A and B are shown apart, each in its own frame.
Chain A
Amino acid sequence: MESYQYLLDYLENAPTIIKVVWITICVFFIAVVILTIYLKYLRNRLRKNEKTVAEYQKEYESDLITYLYAGNEEEEISAEQQLIIDKLRSCASDEFKRRIIVSTLLRLRNEISGEMADAIQKLYFQSGLISFALKRLKSKKWYVVAKGIRELTQLRVKEADDKILMFVNHPKKEIRKEVQLYLVTLFHFEGLQFLDVLQTQLSEWDQIQLLEVLQRFDEQEIPDINPWLKSANDSVVVFALKLAKIYNQFEVKDALIDLLAHPQKKIRVDAIHVLSHLQVFEAKTVLKNNFDILSKEEQIEFFKLLENLCETGDEPFLLTQTTHQNFEIKLSALKILKTLSNEKFKDLKDFSTDADYVKIYEFLAYN
């Protein structure tokens, strides 16, 4: 009691700053105690939740495997399968359980193919889980819609394409990305038809993801990409150029040559790159004739094309470019001339007194 009185006296007589410090310490101490209790409660709750999820998962895993092996040839759905369908149908109305059921189906669906994978999809329909995913598409929250589309993609539900196509030009890029992945994952090259109506930009990341999905398929027969090369949406043109290169679409060479006059410099440069890859000789004449009006990037890209498609007839043009002000072009011109004729290259030693020219010549002569 005495020490308690002593503390009170001490605080009463202490300077204001000391009082403030003590009050702050007390407040922080109480806050730490409350937060520690709360964290402990939260951790216990999460652990309990984890345990419940694991229990349900085990139960649904077992149900799923039983369903997959309970079929027989006489009936479309055996009695045992019907019991499981009914059980999952009733559990699906609870969101928590539904999430676990869907994740269990997906965990297996992603790992296996063939009849069993088809059976999992059948169960997804029979248990009514699909109706919940379709309901998500009507949500006002963008992330709910995106998750719904992803679920339909993962469970290969082709039947929802009409509903999903309506989101092709959705203002949220996350939804657009899910739509594109749905279409390409399920309909392969045919799914790329969304490019006909795409009004928004297809980001570089979107393009990489689409190409990654497409390269998983064995079929290499891609639809006509001419309309996409002529699209008013520049990102669609850029993507179509990538398709033309990866899938060696030589038949679109005329559309590629037309792109050399595209208002966007990036597209013109990319078009030269693809023309070079496809070895379209006609492009060389067009570019050579317009060389002086090309941007520096296009000129450099054109020289990369020339390295690929050079002929003896290009020598006069190349000679004029050995004194070009750009180092890269000078180097490329001399390199091509050496490739065309080593003898003629030797005669070029004193062609120019330009310091860069001399350096490049010396380098190429000894390498």
Chain B
Amino acid sequence: MSDAKKIVLAEDNSTLSLLLKFRLEKEGYKLLIAADGKEAIEMIEQHDPELILTDIMMPFISGLEVISHVRNKLNKQTPIIVFSAAGQEEMVLKAFNLGANDFMGKPFSPNELVIRVKRLLR
């Protein structure tokens, strides 16, 4: 388990976080859950994860700010998958411009997320 690849999940919906934690840990990853962007940045700085999953709309610090922090302040190329709700197309474009690698529109299938995570961590 100590060799497991670390993933930081920044998501303010605790039920969804718990579901994804179960699903991704079943696949052998180690999930670190942050309830908002601020917590996510602290976790990223502390644990240096192999992948970041982040929602766009979050309290305190948004997903866009998290991406910007990782790419511009920490200068890291850690793969980032963004979650967005319907009607946030502009935000998704901004996320890609800031350096996100992939996005999933909510509602999404957890199985599909696993496939995308595996592809990015190959």
Binding site for B on A (CB under 8 A): 57-58, 61-62, 64-65, 68-69, 104, 107-117, 216
Contact = CB atoms under 8 A, between A and B. Distances in A.
Interface string B20-33: 00100010000000
Contact of A68 (B13, B19, B109, B111): B19
Interface in B82-110: 86, 106-110
Contacts of A116: 19, 109-110
Contacts of B13: 107-108, 111
B15 interface: yes
A111 B18 CA distance: 13
Contacts of B16: 107-108, 111-112
Interface string B70-89: 00000000000000001000
A114 B112 contact: yes
Contacts, number: 53
A62 B18 contact: yes
Contacts of B110: 112, 114, 116
Nearest to A66: B22
A71 to B, nearest CB: 13
A65 B107 contact: no
Given A69-B22, A216-B86, A114 B109 contact: yes
Contact of A115 (B15, B26, B107, B111): B111
22 contacts: A61-B15, A65-B15, A65-B18, A68-B19, A69-B22, A104-B15, A107-B13, A107-B14, A108-B15, A109-B107, A110-B107, A111-B15, A111-B16, A111-B107, A112-B108, A112-B109, A114-B111, A115-B109, A116-B19, A116-B109, A117-B107, A216-B86
Interface residues of B, number: 16
Nearest to B11: A111
A110 to B, nearest CB: 6
- Shortest 3 CB-CB contacts between residues of A and residues of B: A114-B109, A113-B107, A108-B15
A100 to B, nearest CB: 12
A116 B109 CA distance: 8
Nearest to B23: A69
B59 to A, nearest CB: 15
A269 B100 CA distance: 46
A54 to B, nearest CB: 9
Nearest to A106: B15
Contacts of A113: 107-109
A61 B20 CA distance: 12
Contacts of B106: 110-112
Given A107-B14, A108-B16, 5 more contacts: A64-B15, A69-B26, A111-B16, A111-B106, A114-B110
Contacts of A117: 107
A346 B19 CA distance: 72
A63 B16 CA distance: 13
A113 B111 CA distance: 10
A107 B14 CA distance: 9
A324 to B, nearest CB: 42
B121 to A, nearest CB: 21
A65 B22 contact: yes
B96 to A, nearest CB: 21
